[in-house]
Structure 1
Amino acid sequence: MGQKPEAEVIELTLPARSEYVSIARLTVSGVANRMGFGYEEIEDIKLAVAEACTNVVEHAYGEQGWEPFRILCRLYSDRLVIEVIDRGKGFGFDEKRDGLKPIRVDIDIDEVVEGGLGLYLIHSVMDEVRVTTEDGVKVAMTKYLRQDEVSSDDRSITKTEA
């Protein structure tokens, strides 16, 4: 018998066309709901996925046409990791990071330059974001599942005498 995998993986391949972004949003919404995320967290996840997919549609393939891109959802017991992966032209993230003003904490949102808002939104609503630019672009976004806000550690409960 094989061992249980560390994460369950759901993979979706879509054409890099704007009309398919809603399918990506709907898919991750269903996955996040099944995992137990709350309404606001699901809305944040949908926003981040839509922004990452829109970046693929608008920037990955240029005049080459509509190539497919992939979305991988990795379901762990404590988190959801969503990877949006294309094989289009990379953009030298390390060199451009400093120019993407919204990612910098010291920049006011009113100073947002065109082209930086999508990454800013993704960073602001997800717990972790990693961008790699080898053979295309991969945006890996992590949202941690917070089962409840009450600690299961009974030492956090204090008894008061009446």
Structure 2
Amino acid sequence: MKLQIWLGTLKAVFVAVSVFLADIVTKAAVLQSFELNQSVAVAPFLNLGFWLNPGAAFSFLSDAGGWQRYFFTAVAVVAIAWLSYSIFFSSTISALTRVAFALIAGGAAGNLYDRLVHGAVVDWIDLHAGEWHWPAFNLADCGIVIGAALVVLASLRPESPTRECSRL
């Protein structure tokens, strides 16, 4: 059983690093291809572009005057540390939860990198219906949202953690 947990942990690390690297690579392409606030329509419901978000999800606290950068940086560091600890040292979480935590940690690391390097998060995906636009987001945000959904799904599953780990 310990080998199964170790393999699940290794796979979770791979997921987290993959989300982080995919996020960094796509944002680097965006920074090279677009000017700030520029966008291009690629489908009737999708624009790609370059926007900076100094706040959190849905631009929460984006106009708070600068202190939010440090606050969200600290939140990300604490979240990544707790998620990493859980991934590496908890033998009681399911494989699905381990992957969910990895998605969230990888996404948080991608957005943390942006805050440290750019002072704000680089967003580049703009979904819309007519004139109504969903707040712009990036791959890191996708990892966080998918990971959070998987945490909820894992909490609803009645299976035991050891049985789950063998399926990862």
TM-score by length of 1: 0.28
Where is the strand percentage greater, Structure 1 or Structure 2?
Answer: 1
Greater radius of gyration (CA): 1
TM-score by length of 2: 0.27
- Tell me: higher relative CO, structure 1 or 2? Use CA pairs within 8 A at least 6 residues apart: 2
Where is the helix percentage greater, Structure 1 or Structure 2?
Answer: 2
